């Protein structure tokens, strides 16, 4: 007597039940062929499946009228690599077909299972769904790299601030150089004016000295020869050697004896006795003459 062959999976109870659920015509055949259930159970199962099958044939199919898409959190721009949930509303609610087809305008954006994945490419993309030949509204989303944009904006701001700082420093430098140049020019002008004033004063002093010398020479020529032989050493420092009253005729403040280093009032009697070569006049103040080494006459006390 040979050994019994092992049962196949579809001959066992669990296999028969699976086929009854997912492919009941074959499941019914296997149930009646290999099932170890009693006849009453087999009849009840068969009747129930037949009723369900017949009912499905006569159930009216509700078609899709419209499909509406919306995004709960609407933004002007979405960051890359972000998942965006989408609400999908099918009208009527009891529409039989629920098989949706998802569409995107570019493969870099993924749209499935009511969710959009933005991917890593910036741009503007369109998404929509379709069922039973009915297309939903189109949603447009703008995708940007927010981190890269913020970095670029930060770099642009830093560049702007650096350019402003450089411009400010250049302006301050130009202003400083202009001030230094103006100060140098003013100093050069001041020195030039001082030099011109000094040269003018020297010129006037030379002209005055020349005029005084000429007057003294004329006066000396008119004196008698005997005046030069009068008592005294005749070295020009002796007041008794000369007697020239014209030397008192001056509009200057003081008369100077450059030999004795004394200064007199023009009306002083000693003025006419000053040798012509030692005679000079001055409009300087008393203090200035003293600072130059002159001393006041003891007779006229200027």
Q: What are phi and psi of 117, to 5 degrees?
A: -110, 115
What average pLDDT does this structure show over 78-93? Answer: 91
Q: How far apart are CA 215 and CA 283, in angstroms?
A: 19
Residue count of the chain, please give it: 302
Res 75 pLDDT > 50: yes
Q: What is the pLDDT of residues 176-185, one digit of tens each?
A: 999 999 999 9
Q: What is the pLDDT of residues 223-275, one digit of tens each?
A: 433 344 343 334 444 445 578 888 888 888 899 999 999 999 999 989 988 99
Q: Name the token pair of 166.
A: 């450089």
Confidence of residue 202 (pLDDT cuts 50, 70, 90): confident
**pLDDT value, residue 208:** 80
Q: How far apart are CA 23 and CA 146, in angstroms?
A: 53
Confidence of residue 159 (pLDDT cuts 50, 70, 90): very high
**pLDDT value, residue 238:** 45
Q: Of all residues in the chain, what percent carry a pLDDT higher than 70?
A: 84
Q: How far apart are CA 286 and CA 274, in angstroms?
A: 20
**pLDDT value, residue 225:** 39
The DSSP annotation for 167-235 comes to: HHHHHHHHHHHHHHHHHHHHHHHHHHHHHHHHHHHHHHHHHHHHHHHHHHHHHHHHS-GGGGGSSS--S
Higher pLDDT, 30 or 277: 277
**pLDDT value, residue 128:** 95
pTM > 0.75: yes or no: no
**pLDDT value, residue 73:** 86
Q: Of all residues in the chain, what percent carry a pLDDT higher than 90?
A: 44
Q: How far apart are CA 193 and CA 170, in angstroms?
A: 34
Confidence of residue 155 (pLDDT cuts 50, 70, 90): very high
Cα of 293 vs its chain's centroid, Å: 67
What average pLDDT does this structure show over 124-135? Answer: 92
Higher pLDDT, 226 or 221: 221
What average pLDDT does this structure show over 129-151? Answer: 91
């Amino acid at each position: 007597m040979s050994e019994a062959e092992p049962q196949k999976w579809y001959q066992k109870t669990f296999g028969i039940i699976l086929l009854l659920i997912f492919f009941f015509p074959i499941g019914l055949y296997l149930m009646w062929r290999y099932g170890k259930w009693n006849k009453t159970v087999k009849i009840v199962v068969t009747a129930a499946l037949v009723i369900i099958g017949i009912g499905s044939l006569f159930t009216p199919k509700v078609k899709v009228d419209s499909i509406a898409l919306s995004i709960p959190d609407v933004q002007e721009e979405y960051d890359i690599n972000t998942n965006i949930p989408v609400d999908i509303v099918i009208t009527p609610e009891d529409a039989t077909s629920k098989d949706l087809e998802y569409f995107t305008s570019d493969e870099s954006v993924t749209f499935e299972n009511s969710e959009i994945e933005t991917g890593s490419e910036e741009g503007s993309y369109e998404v929509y769904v379709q069922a039973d030949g009915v297309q939903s509204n189109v949603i447009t989303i703008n995708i940007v790299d927010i981190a890269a944009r913020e970095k670029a904006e930060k770099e642009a701001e830093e560049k702007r601030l650096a350019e402003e700082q450089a411009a400010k420093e250049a302006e301050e430098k130009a202003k400083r150089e202009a001030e230094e140049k103006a100060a140098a020019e003013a100093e050069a002008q001041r020195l030039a004016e001082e030099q011109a004033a000094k040269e003018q004063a020297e010129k006037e002093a030379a002209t005055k000295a020349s005029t005084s010398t000429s007057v003294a020479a004329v006066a000396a020529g008119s004196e008698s020869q005997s005046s030069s032989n009068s008592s005294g050493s005749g070295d020009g420092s002796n007041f008794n050697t000369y007697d020239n009253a014209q030397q008192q005729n001056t509009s200057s403040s003081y008369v100077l004896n450059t030999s004795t280093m004394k200064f007199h009032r023009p009306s002083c009697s000693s003025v006419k006795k000053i040798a012509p070569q030692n005679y000079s006049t001055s409009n300087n103040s008393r203090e200035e003459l003293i600072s130059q080494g002159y001393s006041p006459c003891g007779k006229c006390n200027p």
